[in-house]
């Protein structure tokens, strides 16, 4: 059971590295951005994993419940913010990619470098 | 038992992630990342993070899918096979993975109520919310009041992204594109989506308002509401065409909303300052501190909602307008 | 007045931040410029006022929403942040004075309101990082400033700005996310986000494996954003293809703020609590600093593009800053912080000169400026003087930091003389790359056909203010030295 | 106040020259003369007080805690300032003739930077501590760069690059660390009689520090950091005069002497064997530079190497570490200044009149240019050290010091180099007066323009007068070292 | 009872995911994505009851809406692409 509980952290690590791999190894700019959002999603998972309290429930009070354990609200707040930051970055990144496509007619990193070298 | 469910969901998450990275069809990759978001959101839900689950679904599966698709429409949807430093990247990544996994063995056990993280600040939030703010949703209380400054920052992040995309895509294009009028037409000629969509749009708008104002009591709040509201308008644009959507809410309104929401939020903060409290102190907004907190949270959530709607729609229109060059 | 005084830390962020939405509602670009300038100057005034306050007494604290720390978000201004606040707001104000001519050249007037809004947001973001005492709040404001600076850089007139800014975006986001992971891990072990509280509670953590990993993530993430060698690869192109005025603003302060976070978290949280961390810190940073100094200076000596030449020189100068910090001593940190200030002055002035040149030259390659000193005497004179400050000639600001850096390295023990040798070698390299430009501008025959005229008045004015500051702080360095020294003691005082 | 005025006059003068140049060339040159006279008047007016034992000082401001910009006048600095300011007048007169006679371009820039250089020189002379000294030392390097590179063609630029490169490299690379080291161990860098290093730096470290100082002060041109001096020969002759006689190299040896006297302290150095190497290096430089000078065919290059040798006289004299020798060092600074400026003026006069630069071309020129060659002869005799010239006086004192210290290396060096000096100067004098002019070798020419003649006659006269009336100088310097009587 | 239903849903989700990954045609993927979304909505509903928080059914509602919009956006894009491809082919031939 202990291993099963660590599984959440491992998934965080594996997702993080899948995303990281995509960002550094892929040359297509959109693929890089997809990788970047996977990378960030992994961090969301890390924080949300922390917030869980065994036997607890979502930190929204229910009427009449006494001695109810609640999960930690703070990581949730942080991740709400982080998700918004993530989508903002993504939107900006995509805007830049669209402009790159217009200017260079390609969104492959090595081809752009090729064009710039000329 | 939920741990076992999580196990399956998490495994699916990894499978999806690998598939996303490996697949060369970007269109498929975007669809898969929509699925990824849904899975992630389901996981969040299992981990008691209802608000986050709601947001992740609205953002990951909804907004970012639409954004990716708009970008793909203007660029390309096939990733070229290219020489890459794959082996080195794989080695680096594998090494880091092993190191990180090794370090996790000392983490506090998953869900242990005695872990330091649950002992220090969290209980205080739960208690103080009951006394000083008196709304059931602690997440909203923390978001709106205890860490309202973070949320202000968050609104300005969205605001920055909004003006950023407007700025970048407002640049004169390198070359004129051929005009295809398909977009402006929308899906109007397809009967089923059109009828269903028309029926649904008002309900979605209504639901967005519900999410906005029910945020104190259940999962939801300004950001989620803004995203849903924007999604409704985007749906309208998909069905009736860009032009009609812009007629419904013109661009100048969107800019005004973008700025207005951010200003509303800041104004609440400044009001706290003027009334003798600190910045973002809502207690001074009314005679009764608790009532003041209620007013403050209501107003700032409205500010968040307005800005998010404005920004997301501006971004959507900026992408769509670029396409028709 | 005293009521306002208490709110200054909050106002430092709010003033520029609130002006941003107002600016995009204004259509007239000169009005936008005026509003931006006004907000920037207000912010500078606040920074100066805060500076005076912290020099006279203890650090200033402010509770956001009146919630007590560590539950609510606390703002805290001490000498360390005050020093950086001066740099950030000063360089923004200085750049804005003369910005219009240069910006009208690079950006269409319809887009200028958005540009100024992004400028204000970048300023607000940087200020926000500097005044907060909360680790997560730093992340939020880091992202505001990062997103805003992507927008600013993407405004560059050359299309190569786009791939450059994309690379910056990717690396910047990776850096920020690494930072977020690090903060998450510390939060997991301590349960708090307030930096001071973290430092306190981290002592009770029995097993430090997770903390060590967190330290690794935070250090690497912030090093990425601060362009510490070899994570600098985004910097030269981003600075080269950004609009000239943006380069003035960002080159003077953006990377330094990332270094600020790095030093603040490292010295407040890790150094006192991780055994042997000062060694790890030194051994990580020292070789990188030396490589940065030597390699980047070498590249700068052979670089034909003026802006990129200065960008490479920035990479080398960041090396000086991290070199001072890696000594982990009061003297070293003083030198490091002082160099942040002085390098901002010198590099700001140099990039302002570049902006002056950019008004009438479309290509900023070194052979385009042959003989230009005749047509633009004021501009090139400013270049020579600012260049002297970068080299570190006595009487200039650059010399003061070099003096402190050498003093600190001499005190560092057996390594000292070797480090001094490297500092000196790279100073001489700076002589080479600055003098190469001076010689061509002054002694090569000019291209007779080219119609070149002196830069507009306001741009020259801000350039010469920057040059004058270089000399003022070179001859009367009490203010920055006092701030840097007090900040260094503050940082070292955390170590037990 | 007078101290600050001495600094301000050349600066204001530079500004005035710049403005006057817009009106007319004559006004510009009048301004130069007025400025130089005003400066000399001002500096010389300080002399009586210093002779009386007064030591005025002023702290301008504190740069960083413990490091101040301040000025203080002591005999050594007074001598240097008085010398430089007086020679500037003569040099200005000469410049007018030379610059006009050769139709040089960008004359305004020349006069402006000349004035700036003088300001820096005065700053060096009056500096109260190492930091201030270093500040003006670097300023002097940078301000003379536009003068050295005056011609602006590729060859000149290359030489100017060597000039700047060597001086900056040595000063940043060696002098700066030495200064910082001093501040670090002694807590300050104030010039204090008796030195400040005693008790702080001992043994081999002292020798190392001395090395950093001596080679760091590249302007003193101790081998092997003398390379900049021959390279700087590309400059116009008035600039060469500035470099060799008025300011630059004098600033170098002045700084070395000052550091030895006021930072190390003669006693402290004398008691530390590891600092003895300086004497040998100086002696080597004297002999080697003289040998190189023997093989030169270009007049100005020959003079440059001669300067290298003569400078090391000063260094060697200072390194003997005896009061008499120290006085000899300071007197030699003056004597060499008078002699060398005369020689350069003469070389410049020959160039202006006949465009001749090589020794071989000089045959018989004494008959066409009697004034010039007379002055040249006097200068050469002073270099060799023949009475009745100033050079004799200084050599006398240095020899006396060497005997006092029983330093046979120094005695041997002085004798050998006197022979060598004679070997490379006398042939020139000989062929100029007695050689036969080759037919049609050059244009028909007479004497150089009048301002040039006035200038070089004045300096030649000074060379001789200094032999007769050197009492005040010795009295002045005796204040620090204890005079010959004591 | 809830557990059994949940397991069944997860298995269905797995199958849908497999189809989405394998493809091969776009229609397969669109259908799979739609189905996956539907199953997530169901899963959420069931889990909400299982955790004793039926008030979270709102969430499921949001998911359903988002899923609908997402599928429409994909279809719109797909139609756009198809017609663009057709244009390109025509101009080429």
Determine contact: C394 vs chain D, CB below 8 A: yes
Question: Where is C102: in which H helix or E strand?
Answer: helix C99-106
Chains E and C touch (3+ CB pairs under 8 A): no
pLDDT at site B188? 67
Note whether D115 and D35 are within 8 A (CB): yes
B116 and B139 inside one domain = no
pLDDT at site B151? 93
pLDDT, average across residues B154-161: 95
Please tell me the distance from the alpha carbon of residue C19 to that of residue C41, in angstroms, as a whole number: 12
| Residue B325 scores a pLDDT above 50 | no
- Structure tokens given for D167: 């001086």
> Worst-scoring range by mean pLDDT, C64-78, C436-450, D253-267?
C436-450
**Residue D298's pLDDT band (cuts 50, 70, 90):** confident
Determine contact: A62 vs chain E, CB below 8 A: yes
Q: Do E72 and B219 touch (CB under 8 A)?
A: no
Q: Do A57 and E53 touch (CB under 8 A)?
A: yes
**Residue A45's pLDDT band (cuts 50, 70, 90):** very high
| Residue E87 scores a pLDDT above 70 | no
Please tell me the distance from the alpha carbon of residue C377 to that of residue C14, in angstroms, as a whole number: 41
pLDDT at site C71? 87
Q: Do A57 and E51 touch (CB under 8 A)?
A: yes
Q: Do B117 and C188 touch (CB under 8 A)?
A: yes
**Residue D441's pLDDT band (cuts 50, 70, 90):** low
Mutate to test the interface with E, among A58, A61, A63, A87 (most CBs of E within 10 A): A58
pLDDT, average across residues C363-367: 84
pLDDT, tens digit (0-9, with 9 covering 90-100), for D303-331: 888 888 888 888 888 888 888 888 888 88
pLDDT at site D483? 47
| Most confident among C454-463, D243-252, D470-479 (mean pLDDT) | C454-463
- Rounded to 5 degrees, φ, ψ at B45 are -60, -45
Determine contact: C148 vs chain B, CB below 8 A: yes
**Residue C290's pLDDT band (cuts 50, 70, 90):** very high
Mean residue pLDDT of chain A comes to: 87
> How many percent of chain B have pLDDT more than 70?
91
- Minimal Cα distance from A62: which residue of E? E53
C410, C411, C431 member nearest D168 (Cβ): C431
B100, B108, B168 member nearest C154 (Cβ): B168
pLDDT at site D370? 86
pLDDT, average across residues D66-93: 88
Residues of chain B positioned with their CB less than 8 A from the CB of E37 = 38, 61
Determine contact: E85 vs chain A, CB below 8 A: no
pLDDT at site C348? 93
| Residue C404 scores a pLDDT above 50 | yes
pLDDT, average across residues C64-77: 89
Chains C and D touch (3+ CB pairs under 8 A): yes
pLDDT at site D394? 87
More confident residue, C266 or D356: C266
| Residue D98 scores a pLDDT above 60 | yes
| Residue B106 scores a pLDDT above 70 | no
pLDDT, tens digit (0-9, with 9 covering 90-100), for C24-62: 888 888 899 999 999 999 999 999 999 998 988 778 899
pLDDT at site B122? 83
Note whether C317 and C295 are within 8 A (CB): no
| Most confident among B167-171, C338-342, D322-326, D442-446 (mean pLDDT) | C338-342
Domains of chain A: 2-54+69-117 (1.10.287.3510)
pLDDT at site A66? 66
B270 and B162 inside one domain = yes
**Residue E92's pLDDT band (cuts 50, 70, 90):** low
The CA distance from C476 to the nearest CA of chain D, in Å, is 4
Please tell me the distance from the alpha carbon of residue D260 to that of residue D279, in angstroms, as a whole number: 13
Please tell me the distance from the alpha carbon of residue B128 to that of residue B143, in angstroms, as a whole number: 14
| Residue A64 scores a pLDDT above 80 | no
Q: Do C147 and A99 touch (CB under 8 A)?
A: no
Please tell me the distance from the alpha carbon of residue B272 to that of residue B274, in angstroms, as a whole number: 6
pLDDT, tens digit (0-9, with 9 covering 90-100), for A51-62: 888 777 888 887
ipTM of the shown complex: 0.88
Q: Do B42 and E21 touch (CB under 8 A)?
A: no
| Residue D484 scores a pLDDT above 60 | no
pLDDT at site C260? 94
Is B55 a domain residue? Answer: yes
Is B258 a domain residue? Answer: yes
Kindly report whether the peptide bond that precedes residue D358 is cis, defined as omega within 30 degrees of 0. no
Please tell me the distance from the alpha carbon of residue A110 to that of residue B83, in angstroms, as a whole number: 9
- Structure tokens given for D428: 């020139």
Residues of chain A positioned with their CB less than 8 A from the CB of E56 = 58
B20 and B115 inside one domain = yes
Note whether B33 and B60 are within 8 A (CB): yes
Residues of chain C positioned with their CB less than 8 A from the CB of A46 = 181, 184
> How many percent of chain C have pLDDT more than 90?
55
Closest C-alpha among C364, C305, C359 to residue C106: C359
- 3 state SS for D387-423: CCCHHHHHHHHHHHHHHHCCCHHHHHHHHHHHHHHHH
* B-proximal residues of C, 193-212, CB under 8 Å: 193, 201, 204-205, 207, 209-210, 212
* A-proximal residues of E, 42-81, CB under 8 Å: 51-53, 55-56
pLDDT, average across residues B31-42: 91
pLDDT at site D151? 81
Note whether B157 and B151 are within 8 A (CB): no
Phi-psi label, residue B44: left if phi above 0, alpha if psi -120 to 50, beta otherwise: alpha
Q: Do A46 and C184 touch (CB under 8 A)?
A: yes
Closest C-alpha among D381, D378, D341, D371 to residue D454: D371
| Residue D440 scores a pLDDT above 70 | no
Residues of chain C positioned with their CB less than 8 A from the CB of B164 = 118, 147-148, 150-151, 154
Question: Where is D60: in which H helix or E strand?
Answer: strand D57-64
Residue with tokens 């007064």: D54
> Worst-scoring range by mean pLDDT, C443-452, D439-448, E84-93?
E84-93
- Structure tokens given for D36: 């130089």
Determine contact: A46 vs chain B, CB below 8 A: no
Residue with tokens 């070997």: D423
pLDDT, tens digit (0-9, with 9 covering 90-100), for D191-212: 888 888 877 887 788 888 888 9
Is B325 a domain residue? Answer: yes
Domain count, chain B: 2
Integer-rounded Cα Rg, in Å, for chain E is 18
A48, A74, A77 member nearest B44 (Cβ): A48
pLDDT, tens digit (0-9, with 9 covering 90-100), for B194-209: 888 888 888 889 989 9
pLDDT at site B84? 65
In chain A, what are the helix, strand and coil shares in percent, each to the nearest 5? 75, 5, 20
pLDDT at site D268? 84
Is B125 a domain residue? Answer: no
pLDDT at site D485? 41
The length of chain B, given as a count of residues: 325
Residues of chain B positioned with their CB less than 8 A from the CB of A86 = 59
| Residue D256 scores a pLDDT above 50 | yes
| Most confident among B200-209, D360-369, E51-60 (mean pLDDT) | B200-209
Cα–Cα distance list, D368 to C423, C460, D342 (Å) = 57, 55, 18
pLDDT at site B266? 93
Residues of chain B positioned with their CB less than 8 A from the CB of A75 = 49
| Residue B178 scores a pLDDT above 50 | no
pLDDT, tens digit (0-9, with 9 covering 90-100), for C5-25: 888 999 999 999 999 999 988
The CA distance from C354 to the nearest CA of chain A, in Å, is 23
Structural domain of residue B229, as residue ranges? Answer: 135-325
Q: How many CB pairs under 8 A join A and B?
A: 279
Chains B and A touch (3+ CB pairs under 8 A): yes
Question: Where is C62: in which H helix or E strand?
Answer: strand C60-63
Q: At what angle do helices C377-391 and C416-443 cross, to 10 degrees?
A: 170
Chains E and D touch (3+ CB pairs under 8 A): no
User: What one-character DSSP code corresponds to residue B182?
Assistant: H
pLDDT, average across residues D255-268: 87
**Residue D134's pLDDT band (cuts 50, 70, 90):** very high
> How many percent of chain D have pLDDT more than 90?
13
B302 and B208 inside one domain = yes
Chains B and E touch (3+ CB pairs under 8 A): yes
C160, C177, C184 member nearest A40 (Cβ): C177
pLDDT, average across residues B43-64: 88
Note whether B157 and A88 are within 8 A (CB): yes
Q: Do B120 and C128 touch (CB under 8 A)?
A: no
**Residue E61's pLDDT band (cuts 50, 70, 90):** confident
The CA distance from B202 to the nearest CA of chain C, in Å, is 30
pLDDT, tens digit (0-9, with 9 covering 90-100), for B244-296: 888 888 888 999 999 999 999 999 999 988 888 889 889 888 888 899 999 99
**Residue A38's pLDDT band (cuts 50, 70, 90):** very high
More confident residue, E92 or C282: C282
Q: Do C177 and A97 touch (CB under 8 A)?
A: no
pLDDT at site D469? 82
pLDDT, tens digit (0-9, with 9 covering 90-100), for D398-407: 888 888 888 8
- Minimal Cα distance from E55: which residue of A? A62
Residues of A with CB under 8 A from a CB of C: 16, 20, 23, 29, 32, 36, 39-40, 43, 46-47, 50, 74-75, 78, 81-82, 85, 88-89, 92-93, 96-97, 99-100, 103-104, 109, 112-113, 116
B59 and B139 inside one domain = no
pLDDT, average across residues B27-54: 90
pLDDT at site B218? 83
Note whether D240 and D93 are within 8 A (CB): no
Contacts of B30 (CB under 8 A, 6+ apart): A34, B65, B68, B69, B72
pLDDT, average across residues D472-486: 69
pLDDT at site C339? 94
- Minimal Cα distance from B130: which residue of A? A61
Mean residue pLDDT of chain C comes to: 89
């Amino acid at each position: 059971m202990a291993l099963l509980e660590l599984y959440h952290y491992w998934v965080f690590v594996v997702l993080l590295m899948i995303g990281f791999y995509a960002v550094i190894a892929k040359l297509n700019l959109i693929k890089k951005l997809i990788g970047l959002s996977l990378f960030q999603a992994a961090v969301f998972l890390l924080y949300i994993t922390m917030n869980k309290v065994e036997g607890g429930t979502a930190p929204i009070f229910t009427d009449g419940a006494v001695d109810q354990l609640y999960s930690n609200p703070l990581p949730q707040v942080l991740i709400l913010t982080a998700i918004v930051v993530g989508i903002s970055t993504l939107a900006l990144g995509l805007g830049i990619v669209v402009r790159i496509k217009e200017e260079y007619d390609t969104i492959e990193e090595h081809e752009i470098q090729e064009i710039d070298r000329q | 038992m939920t741990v076992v469910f999580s196990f399956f969901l998490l495994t699916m998450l990894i499978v999806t992630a690998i598939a996303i990275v490996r697949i060369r069809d970007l269109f498929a990759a975007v669809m898969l990342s929509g699925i990824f978001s849904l899975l992630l959101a389901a996981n969040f839900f299992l981990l008691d993070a209802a608000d986050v689950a709601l947001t992740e679904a609205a953002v990951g599966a909804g907004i970012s899918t639409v954004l990716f698709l708009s970008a793909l429409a203007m660029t390309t949807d096939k990733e070229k096979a290219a020489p890459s430093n794959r082996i080195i990247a794989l080695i680096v990544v594998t090494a880091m993975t092993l190191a990180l996994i090794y370090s996790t063995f000392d983490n506090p056990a998953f869900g242990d109520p005695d872990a330091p993280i649950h002992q220090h600040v969290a209980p205080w939030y739960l208690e103080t919310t009951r006394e000083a703010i008196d709304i059931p949703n602690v997440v909203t209380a923390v978001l709106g009041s205890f860490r309202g400054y973070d949320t202000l920052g968050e609104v300005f992040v969205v605001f920055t992204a909004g003006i950023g995309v407007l700025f970048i895509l407002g640049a004169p294009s390198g070359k004129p594109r051929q005009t295809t009028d398909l977009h402006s037409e929308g899906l109007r000629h397809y009967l089923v989506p059109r009828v269903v969509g028309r029926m649904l749009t008002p309900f979605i708008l209504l639901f967005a308002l519900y999410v906005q104002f029910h945020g104190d009591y259940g999962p939801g709040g300004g950001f989620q509401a803004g995203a849903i509201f924007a999604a409704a308008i985007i749906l309208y644009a998909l069905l009736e065409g860009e032009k009609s959507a812009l007629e419904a809410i013109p661009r100048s309104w969107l800019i005004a909303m973008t700025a207005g929401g951010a200003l509303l939020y800041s104004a609440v903060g400044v009001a706290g300052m003027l009334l003798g409290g600190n910045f973002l102190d809502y207690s001074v907004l009314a005679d009764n501190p608790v009532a003041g907190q209620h007013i403050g949270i209501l107003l700032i959530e409205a500010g968040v909602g307005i800005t998010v709607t404005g920004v997301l729609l501006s971004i959507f229109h900026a992408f769509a307008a670029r396409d028709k060059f | 007045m005293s009521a306002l005084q208490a709110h200054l830390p909050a106002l430092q962020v709010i003033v520029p931040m609130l002006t941003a939405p107002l600016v995009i509602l204004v259509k007239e670009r000169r009005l936008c410029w005026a509003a931006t300038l006004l907000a920037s100057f207000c912010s500078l005034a606040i920074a100066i006022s805060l500076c005076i306050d912290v020099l006279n007494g203890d650090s200033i604290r402010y509770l956001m929403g009146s919630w007590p720390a560590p539950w609510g978000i606390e703002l805290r201004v001490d000498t360390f942040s005050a020093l950086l606040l001066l740099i950030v707001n000063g360089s923004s104000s200085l750049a804005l004075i003369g910005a219009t001519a240069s910006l009208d050249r690079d950006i269409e007037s319809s887009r200028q309101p958005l540009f100024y809004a992004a400028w204000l947001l970048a300023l607000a973001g940087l200020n926000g990082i500097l005044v907060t005492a909360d680790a997560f709040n730093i992340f939020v404001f880091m992202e505001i400033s990062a997103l805003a600076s992507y927008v600013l850089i993407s405004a560059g007139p050359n299309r190569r700005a786009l791939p450059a800014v994309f690379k910056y975006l990717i690396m910047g986001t990776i850096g920020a996310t690494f930072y977020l992971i690090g903060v998450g891990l510390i939060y997991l072990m301590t349960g708090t986000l307030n930096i001071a509280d973290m430092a306190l509670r981290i002592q009770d953590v029995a097993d430090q494996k997770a903390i060590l990993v967190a330290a690794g993530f935070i250090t690497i993430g912030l090093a990425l954003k601060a362009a510490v060698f070899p994570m600098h690869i985004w910097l030269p192109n981003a600075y080269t293809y950004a609009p000239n005025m943006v380069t003035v603003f960002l080159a003077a302060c953006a990377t330094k703020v990332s270094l600020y976070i790095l030093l603040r978290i490292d010295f407040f949280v890790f150094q006192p609590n991780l055994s042997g961390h000062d060694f790890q810190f030194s051994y990580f940073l020292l070789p990188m600093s030396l490589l940065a100094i030597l390699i980047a200076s070498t590249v700068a000596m052979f670089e034909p593009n003026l802006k990129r030449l200065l960008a490479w020189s920035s990479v080398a100068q960041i090396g000086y800053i991290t070199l001072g910090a890696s000594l982990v001593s009061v003297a070293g940190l003083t030198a490091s912080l002082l160099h942040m200030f002085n390098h901002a002055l010198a590099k700001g002035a140099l990039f302002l000169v570049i902006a002056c040149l950019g008004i009438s030259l479309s290509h900023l390659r070194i052979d385009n400026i042959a003989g230009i000193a005749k047509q633009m005497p004021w501009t090139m004179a400013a270049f020579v003087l600012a260049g002297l400050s970068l080299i570190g000639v006595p009487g200039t600001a650059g010399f003061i930091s070099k003096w402190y850096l050498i003093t600190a390295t001499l005190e560092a023990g057996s390594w000292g003389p070797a480090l001094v040798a490297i500092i000196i070698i790279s100073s001489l390299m700076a002589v080479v790359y600055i003098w190469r430009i001076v010689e061509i501008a002054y002694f090569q025959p000019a291209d007779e056909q080219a119609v070149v005229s002196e830069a507009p008045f306001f741009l020259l004015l801000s350039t010469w203010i920057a040059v004058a500051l270089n000399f003022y702080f070179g001859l009367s360095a009490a203010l920055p030295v006092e701030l840097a020294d007090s900040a260094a003691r503050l940082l070292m005082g955390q170590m037990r | 106040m007078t101290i600050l005025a001495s600094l301000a006059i050349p600066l204001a003068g530079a500004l005035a020259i710049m403005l006057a140049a817009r009106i007319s060339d004559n006004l510009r040159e009048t301004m130069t003369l007025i400025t130089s006279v005003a400066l000399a008047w001002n500096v010389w007016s300080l002399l009586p007080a210093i002779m009386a034992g007064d030591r005025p000082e002023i702290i301008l401001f504190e740069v960083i805690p413990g490091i101040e910009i301040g000025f203080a006048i002591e005999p050594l600095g007074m001598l240097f300032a008085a010398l430089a300011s007086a020679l500037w007048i003569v040099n200005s007169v000469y410049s007018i003739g030379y610059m006009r006679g050769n139709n040089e371009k960008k004359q305004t820039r020349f006069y402006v930077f000349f004035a700036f250089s003088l300001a820096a020189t005065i700053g060096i002379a009056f500096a109260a501590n190492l930091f201030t000294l270093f500040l003006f030392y670097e300023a002097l390097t940078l301000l003379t760069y536009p003068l050295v590179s005056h011609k602006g063609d590729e060859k000149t630029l290359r030489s100017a690059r060597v000039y700047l490169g060597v001086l900056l490299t040595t000063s940043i690379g060696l002098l700066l660390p030495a200064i910082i080291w001093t501040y670090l161990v002694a807590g300050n860098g104030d010039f204090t009689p008796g030195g400040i290093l005693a008790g702080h730096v001992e043994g081999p470290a002292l020798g190392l520090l001395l090395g950093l100082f001596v080679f760091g002060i590249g302007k003193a041109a101790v081998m092997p950091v003398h390379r900049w001096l021959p390279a700087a020969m590309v400059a116009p002759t008035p600039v060469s005069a500035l470099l060799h006689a008025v300011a630059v190299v004098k600033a170098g040896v002045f700084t070395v002497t000052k550091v030895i006297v006021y930072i190390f302290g003669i006693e402290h150095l004398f008691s530390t064997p590891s600092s003895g190497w300086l004497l040998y290096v100086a002696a080597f430089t004297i002999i080697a530079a003289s040998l190189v000078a023997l093989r030169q065919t270009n007049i100005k290059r020959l003079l440059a190497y001669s300067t290298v040798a003569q400078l090391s006289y000063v260094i060697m004299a200072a390194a003997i570490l005896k009061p008499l020798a120290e006085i000899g060092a300071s007197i030699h600074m003056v004597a060499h200044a008078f002699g060398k400026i005369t020689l350069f003026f003469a070389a410049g006069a020959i160039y202006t009149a006949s465009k001749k630069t090589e020794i071989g071309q000089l045959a018989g020129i004494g008959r066409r240019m009697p004034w010039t060659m007379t002055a040249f002869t006097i200068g050469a005799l002073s270099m060799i050290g023949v009475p009745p010239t100033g050079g004799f006086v200084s050599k006398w004192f240095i020899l006396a010091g060497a005997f006092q210290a029983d330093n046979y290396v120094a005695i041997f060096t002085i004798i050998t180099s006197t022979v060598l000096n004679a070997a490379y100067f006398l042939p020139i004098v000989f062929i100029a007066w007695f050689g036969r002019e080759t037919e049609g070798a050059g244009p028909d020419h007479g004497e150089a323009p009048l301002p040039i003649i006035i200038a070089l006659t004045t300096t030649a006269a000074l060379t001789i007068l200094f032999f007769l009336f050197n009492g005040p100088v010795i009295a002045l310097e005796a204040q620090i070292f204890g005079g010959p009587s004591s | 009872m809830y557990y059994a239903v949940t397991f069944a849903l997860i298995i269905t989700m797995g199958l849908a995911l497999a189809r989405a990954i394998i493809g091969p045609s776009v229609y397969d993927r669109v259908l799979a994505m739609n189905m996956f979304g539907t199953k997530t909505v169901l899963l959420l509903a069931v889990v909400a009851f299982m955790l004793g928080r039926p008030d979270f059914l709102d969430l499921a509602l949001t998911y359903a809406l988002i899923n609908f919009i997402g599928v429409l956006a994909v279809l719109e894009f797909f139609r756009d692409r198809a017609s663009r491809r057709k244009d390109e082919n025509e101009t080429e031939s």
